[in-house]
Chains A and B, each alone.
Chain A
Amino acid sequence: MSTPTLDKHSSALDAAEVTGTHLIAITLRVRRFNPEVSAEAEWVDYQIQVDPKERVLDALHKVKWEIDGSLTFRRSCAHGVCGSDAMRINGKNRLACKTLIKDVSPEKPITVEAIKGMTVLKDLVVDMDPFFQAYRDVMPFLITTGNEPTRERLQSAADRERFDDTTKCILCAACTSSCPVFWNDGQYFGPAAIVNAHRFIFDSRDEGGEQRLEILNDKDGVWRCRTTFNCTDACPRGIEVTKAIQEVKRALITRRF
């Protein structure tokens, strides 16, 4: 449920299974940009042999390690928990390390490009600073007043469950860079910042909810969301992002009335 919906089962994969080979030939079509070479981005095709059960990240590595070392992308954990490698694969935002080749129609060229709406620095690497700036703007930390308890603060299992979904965020930016409103002008806080505000607004231990709501009441805050659900579809952690945004909107409305 949390992996983005997959494309149809591949016929190339079936063929590979029948003939008993592990590897299939794929074309990786990467949108490359290197400011040290040219001001224009260009599509470059790479023909490689991969196991369809491998990840798109493995295919990128194959290109980098065997064909062209200058291909540049971020990655670290390789299993979808660090949020380094959000990119647009076949036109949709995904983590390269959580997308298996067999799930992206390998019989056709697989397109890979940088996420939208952010400054492309090189190949698949974008400038993440504005994204983290929006995150910092919502005060993403527990705010409490009064004396600290000597032991832990108590919290019922139900109160803990209330914000569980939004604690899963790995700040990969797949959501924000899939949002059509964000592409327009980049001023919108973006779903990721709202998700992280939600995580605290609905934490029973937190006392800074009012301030965060006030920040998101901004003209570039939650009201810019047009419920297009691209964020929810893109989130590799299966967070119901639009639902979180909706809950923040409703909190703002009920706070007013």
Chain B
Amino acid sequence: MATEVSPKDAVELTSSSASYSPDNPAPLIEPPRARTRRTPRSTRTNFELYGWLFMRLSGVVLVVLVIGHLLIQLVLDGGVTKVGFAFVAGRWASPFWQYWDLAMLWLAMLHGGNGLRTIINDYAEQPNTRVWLKTILFTAVAFTIALGSLVIFTFDPNIR
């Protein structure tokens, strides 16, 4: 029977790693951040619960809003070619479309923002990095929502 052993991709034993022995074992292969006896600390809020619910509720509403938006912008009536200042002005003349776009803006930003928050929680390793990334995210979301809302409500078709 074949009993060949062929170490594949074997690591070069450097002088330091060659000195490992039963008395001087190498560090173990740790996962990135291990659960410890002290984690998790109970948070005692329903924040994650509400966040989770919000993702789903906003998702359902967004389907209507976003798909509708896409249809109008890209498909109906000549597709993207029609889009221009005049087109926008025409649409925002009606409060219905104003509120449509407003809802879309808020929901999408909050939905996407919360989604990104989850992603940051998942991948950012250092607590510091987490805080920074979330601060940036929060600022960006708040800024975008504020700017967008401002534009929709203070839009002036006669600016030209």
Contact = CB atoms under 8 A, between A and B. Distances in A.
A–B in direct contact per CB < 8 Å: yes
A249 B55 CA distance: 14
Interface in B1-54: 1-11, 13, 17-18, 20-22, 25-37, 39-40, 42-44, 46-49, 51-53
Contacts of A137: 40
Contacts of A184: 32, 122-123
A79 to B, nearest CB: 26
Interface string B51-62: 111000000000
A40 B17 contact: yes
B123 A134 contact: no
Contacts of B4: 47
A214 B1 CA distance: 58
A130 B3 contact: no
Contacts of A66: 1, 3
Interface in A167-210: 181, 183-187, 189
A33 B33 contact: no
Contact of A120 (B1, B28, B42): B28
Given A36-B20, A36-B21, A223-B52, A42 B28 contact: no
Given A37-B26, A44-B10, 8 more contacts: A36-B21, A36-B25, A46-B5, A187-B33, A223-B51, A223-B52, A224-B48, A256-B49
